[in-house]
Structure 1
Amino acid sequence: MAGQSHRLNQFRVAHELADALTGVVRSLAGLSCDGFNQPTDGT
């Protein structure tokens, strides 16, 4: 059972990392596109 819990914890950490990376990529894409496209609605 300990191994299962550990795997679940790793999955949660990986999911949080993916979420953080997605947010960073989105903000970077938004910044780089500001000059070319209309600004987004504050997101």
Structure 2
Amino acid sequence: MGGRSNVKNELLCRFVFPERPGALMKFLDSFSPRWNISLFHYRAQ
């Protein structure tokens, strides 16, 4: 934890997913492999 990336113009985005099997994986698969996802937070309800 606490890693850093030397990426200019870093963005922080928030998404809400439906509670459906595979919804998160489908979303992540749509990103380019060039994206650096350095933080991911999951909160179960």
TM-score bracket, normalised by the shorter chain, equals under 0.3
When the two structures are superposed, what TM-score results if normalisation uses the length of structure 1? 0.27
Higher helix share: 1
When the two structures are superposed, what TM-score results if normalisation uses the length of structure 2? 0.27
Structure number with higher relative contact order (C-alpha < 8 Å, ≥ 6 residues apart) = 2
